[in-house]
Structure 1
Amino acid sequence: MPENPVRTPLDVVLTDINPDVVHAWRAAFAGTPGIAIRQGSILDEQVDAWVSPTNSRGRMDGGVDAAIKRHLGAGIQLRVQRAIRDRFAGSLPVGSAVCVPSGAANPRFLISTPTMEASSQNVSETLNVALACAAAFQAVHQQNRSAPGSIASVALVGMGARTGRVPARVCANLMWTGHTLFQDHRFEDYDDLRSTVTAQLDDMESAPADRPVRITPPGRAARRSHRS
């Protein structure tokens, strides 16, 4: 598949009630076009899709997941878990996502992507946030491929920053990595996405905490560059 296909323009909202996450986003995403950063609840965002960090079983029993289930109703968990069962045999790997109709006018879709395998797992020493963020944008690609233009705006929270205990600055930098990968490359599937990210784990793990890492998609120049 071409690396720069025509795609639906996407407005991205980063919103969180945690001021530390918002401050870290402003630093990590400084100068990144198409990004709005706000302090507040994702439940207030008027967009086509919300992204909810979840666990591999799609149990919406904590953090943002639980708040969204209360807002949209218990049926949203059933739709998420049905999609996980049908597409991933009941267990959604980190670095994958499902996109389901929300049953509401706003948002029209919910994208669930795991930052952890089990509920309340500490993922602060992992790169799961980058994988989850990239997977969320892959889900946007797939939805727009099947129904062009259906997702033109999306809202995300600080992934892993609450239940997963990922420090705000690390969360922001890893989300920048996931978003930038979405801008640079379109993947054939989630296996392709995960292999691209995990092939460069050493670069990401050795980077200074205050420097987001740009992942080099396959077929690009061999030199992997850090954002200056």
Structure 2
Amino acid sequence: MPALAPELVLCAVDEPMANAWLAVAAGRTGVRVHRGSVLDIRAQAVVSPANSQGWMRGGIDAVYAQAFPMVENNVRSAVLALHGGELPVGDAQIVATGETEPAWLISAPTMRMPGELLPGDTVHPYLAARAVLRLWLEGRLEDGTPVRDAVHTIAMPGLGTGVGGVAPTTCARQVAAAWDEAFNPLRV
């Protein structure tokens, strides 16, 4: 049986982010836009644009922590055990949500400290998106299963666009660059 093609669902609860995401999806096979919550999507994994310590107390992370009661503990435990207490911006970690769907949460920090306001010229959304895509393509789950075999659809909110204050167009442009680098290196 052939493997399912990967699908990235870019989610937006507001028009500026939705419009910025539409530019990313245009002409990119495997990318689509959903106007609504990340939690509305049938996906195996959701992206948490977290902070490096793994605290999930604000923005979309607080929504995830409420929807998946064990996920903050899972993220914090992985950050402590596997990354010495700090998952750097540019890295990503996949942990179980404790639910059937989505079964996984990919923590990809866009900021070092919780609540950090990012500068307008930040590259953090690109670094976070690149980390998510690399993990998806090359990473392994705790049991050794390739992430790409367990996760066919990832739902991604704006990266750094809430608490971090990154403009939707900046985020979208950087996510597009990360997608092109991962899936169409001739395009970059």
Normalised by the length of structure 1, the TM-score is: 0.75
Aligned counterpart for 1:54 among listed residues 40, 44, 50: 50
Aligned counterpart for 2:85 among listed residues 73, 90, 105: 90
Aligned counterpart for 1:106 among listed residues 73, 97, 101: 101
Q: Is the 1:143–1:150 Cα contact (8 Å) retained in structure 2?
A: no
Aligned counterpart for 1:116 among listed residues 92, 107, 111: 111
Q: Structure 1's 89 and 8: CA in aligned 2 closer, same or farther, altered over 3 A?
A: farther
Instruction: Give the deviation of 1:102 after TM superposition.
Output: 1.1
Give the residue type in structure 2 aligned to 1:157: P
Query: How do 1:19-30 and structure 2 match up within 5 A?
Result: 19-30=15-26
Query: How do 1:1-228 and structure 2 match up within 5 A?
Result: 9-73=5-69, 75-123=70-118, 124-141=120-137, 142-143=139-140, 146-148=144-146, 149-184=149-184, 215=188
| 1:48-75 Cα deviation digits (max 9, x unpaired) | 10011000000001101000000111x2
Percent of aligned positions with the same letter in both sequences? 30
| 1:102-144 Cα deviation digits (max 9, x unpaired) | 1101101110010000112122321000000010112222037
What is the distance in 2 between the residues matched to 1:161 and 1:143? 28
Question: What residue number does 1:202 align with?
Answer: none
Work out which structure has the larger RCO, using CA pairs closer than 8 Å and 6 or more positions apart in sequence: 2
What is the distance in 2 between the residues matched to 1:81 and 1:177? 29
Instruction: Give the deviation of 1:184 after TM superposition.
Output: 4.1
Task: Please give the secondary structure, in 2, of the residue aligned with 1:20.
Answer: helix
Instruction: Give the deviation of 1:29 after TM superposition.
Output: 2.9
Q: Is the 2:25–2:33 Cα contact (8 Å) retained in structure 1?
A: no
Instruction: Give the deviation of 1:178 after TM superposition.
Output: 1.4
Instruction: Give the deviation of 1:151 after TM superposition.
Output: 0.7
Instruction: Give the deviation of 1:8 after TM superposition.
Output: 6.2
Mark the structure with the bigger radius of gyration. 1
Task: Please give the secondary structure, in 1, of the residue aligned with 2:114.
Answer: coil
What is the distance in 2 between the residues matched to 1:138 and 1:27? 22
Q: Over aligned residue pairs, what C-alpha RMSD do you find?
A: 1.9
The gaps in structure 2 that reach 5 residues or longer are none
Give the residue type in structure 2 aligned to 1:143: R
Give the residue type in structure 2 aligned to 1:93: P
Q: Is the 2:17–2:168 Cα contact (8 Å) retained in structure 1?
A: yes
What is the distance in 1 between the residues matched to 2:115 and 2:71? 20
Tell me whether 168-177 or 137-146 shows the greater mean CA deviation. Answer: 137-146
